[in-house]
Amino acid sequence: MHEMAITQSVVQAVCERMGDAPVRRVCLEIGTLSGVVADSVRFCFDLVTEGTTLEGASLEIVQPTGLARCRDCGAEFALADLLVLCTCGSANRELLAGEELKIREVEVLA
Amino acid sequence: MCATCGCSGATSLEHHEHDHEHGHGHGHGHGHDHPETRTVTLEQAVLARNDALAELNRKWFAEHGILAVNLMSSPGAGKTTLLERTIRELGAELQVSVVEGDQETVLDADRIRTSGAPVVQINTGAGCHLDAQMLAGGLRTLDPPESSVVLIENVGNLVCPALFDLGEQARVVITSVTEGAEKPRKYPQMFRAADLVLLNKIDLLPYVDFDVAAFLDGVRRANPGAEVLQLSATTGDGIAGWYGWLRGRSASTSTLT
């Protein structure tokens, strides 16, 4: 259950970047291969934001899906999980998307 | 306050970059629909703070020629037994010291101390993993010597520790044959993060239903670059491979300074 620590990191980072400005909306990118469960972050968000400038803010989570390029044959293919091989049989792949774990933007009172 | 973008708190992280654009062109109304708010693009890694602290740890290890290895496994895979044997047989040669991570108790630290290595225990309480800040605090207490080896025993957990960079030079994942061969398929994130995978308790292979080939295939799917060594920390079978790996990594780390 690292989502609590992850959500605390979000709140800490937003507070550091935005100072005292009340935050109305937070948009996160959590890739489907990031190892972080978006629903758990949603669950933690209200608890963790209580008493901070983020209290009452809405939470949007964008979830990019997995995409990889095969280092052997060059094909690009979708990854539902980290075990999917290229159609050529190779596991040697470069992940292009799906591992995102970042704060995309916030909306604050002007 | 940050002079370029007007955001606050920009002084606390060195890597702060002015990569945000105040939301122009983001269709948020900008003084029309919601005149009271503004959108600020951050594009910042959620774990940026941990990553920055991990980089400081990594720099400190490099400056002191110290090899730091992050050992991760589920509870009961044999991390502490492996450490005890490694300290007894290699501790003096490589000047091994240990950072022990557990939610509670100093039981493992006591076992390591009895084996003869300096050790610091970090209790994470409710936390399910070590992070870079905890390690930095532990290192201040441990104060390992130049050109030595620091083995970090992470909290027993095959999920959370994979996400948190500690500033280590290498990640080792330990699985035992009593856990089942499907572990790499169930926890690919952890195996994907590994430089080395140790398959422990191979002395028990005759007594358990463990498909080594299926295990190796799972590791390859999750991480084709990971090296895999099979050993028994109890009997010592295959342990020479682990010692060889540690010696090699330690030698290349200490000569970098």
Taking only the tens place, the pLDDT of each residue in B174-207 is 999 999 999 999 999 999 989 999 999 999 999 9
A10 in a structural domain: yes
Q: CA of A35, closest CA in chain B: separation in Å? A: 7
Inside any domain, residue A44: yes
Cβ of residue B214 closer than 8 Å to a chain A Cβ? no
**pTM for this one?**
0.85
Count of H helices and E strands in chain B?
8, 8
Residue A93 lies in a domain: no
| 8-state DSSP, B26 | S
Q: What is the pLDDT of residue B36?
A: 86
Three-class secondary structure of residue B108 per DSSP: helix
Whether A40 is in a domain gets the answer: yes
Instruction: Specify the number of domains making up chain A.
Output: 1
The pLDDT of residue B257: 52
Residue A80 covered by a domain: no
Provide the chain B residues 113-172 that lie in CB contact (below 8 A) with chain A.
127-129, 131, 159-160, 162-164
Residue A73 lies in a domain: no
Pairing of strands B37-45, A58-62: unpaired
Provide the residue range defining the domain that includes A7.
2-65+98-108
B80-92: pLDDT as tens digits? 999 999 999 998 9
Q: How many CB pairs under 8 A join A and B?
A: 126
**Is the Cβ pair B222, A107 closer than 8 Å?**
no
CATH number for the domain that contains residue A24: 3.30.2320.50
In a domain, A78, yes or no: no
Q: Say which residue the tokens 């299926």 belong to.
A: B214
What ipTM was predicted for this assembly? 0.89
pLDDT at B11 over 70: no
Is residue A85 one of the residues assigned to a domain?
no
Out of A46-60, B54-68, B116-130, B135-149, which region has the weakest mean confidence (pLDDT)?
B116-130
